[in-house]
Amino acid sequence: MMLARYVQKGDSIDYRPAVDIAAGDVIVIADLIGVARLDIEANTLGSLAVVGVFDVAKADGMIPAGSTVYWDAGAKKATVVSGSNHYLGKAILAADAEAETVRVLLNAPYSLATEFVAGDAIPNLVDNSGGTPSETIAAIQECECRNAIASLSRKTNAILAALRAVGIIAGE
């Protein structure tokens, strides 16, 4: 049995919206961002670009080149504020405070700005693989960046569990 079958290159994805979508609309699908290149009528199959460089409406303030940019779906603008916003990509040109748009490499690979050295402490990271959900929630609520910490915590706990399972690290 085949476990995977090639479907398409992946620069764009099929999308069937429940409402009409205008060309240039930024669409959030869970943790994925896409941009409609053409108008898409409601309940009609269209496509969203998920890679490429786009000029995107931006919030007030400057955005330096190379900055991580997020999509504020409520304001329908790009911002450098992560909060509950969705990862959009990387600014490839600086946008001054007066600019209406910022040029973004959509869904650019995300990387941490700092290097991690074995033995370094990671602040606000909780190994709660043996803990209770209420302990996890309490730890996350203490952080200002709840969504990012929650996602990081889930992924880190999965990595820790896998390392324990193969004997690379000892149990708690």
Task: List the chain pLDDT tens, one digit each, 172 residues.
Answer: 789 988 888 899 999 999 999 999 999 999 899 999 999 999 999 999 999 999 999 999 999 999 999 999 999 999 999 989 999 999 999 999 999 999 999 999 866 555 555 555 544 444 555 555 555 555 555 555 556 666 676 777 777 777 777 667 666 5
Number of other CB atoms surrounding residue 46 within 10 Å? 18
Domain ranges of the chain: 12-106, 112-172
Q: How far apart are CA 2 and CA 119, in angstroms?
A: 42
The fold for domain 12-106 equals Virus Head Decoration Protein; Chain: A, (2.40.300)
Instruction: Specify the amino acid at residue 46.
Output: G
Q: What angle do CA 69, 75, 80 make, to 5 degrees?
A: 20
Cβ burial, residue 91 (10 Å; 0-12/13-18/19+): buried
Q: Is the pTM of this model over 0.85?
A: no
What pLDDT, on a 0 to 100 scale, did the predictor assign at position 121? Answer: 52
Q: How many CA atoms lie within 13 A of 137 on its CB side?
A: 3
Question: Strands 101-106, 86-91: parallel, antiparallel or unpaired by DSSP?
Answer: antiparallel
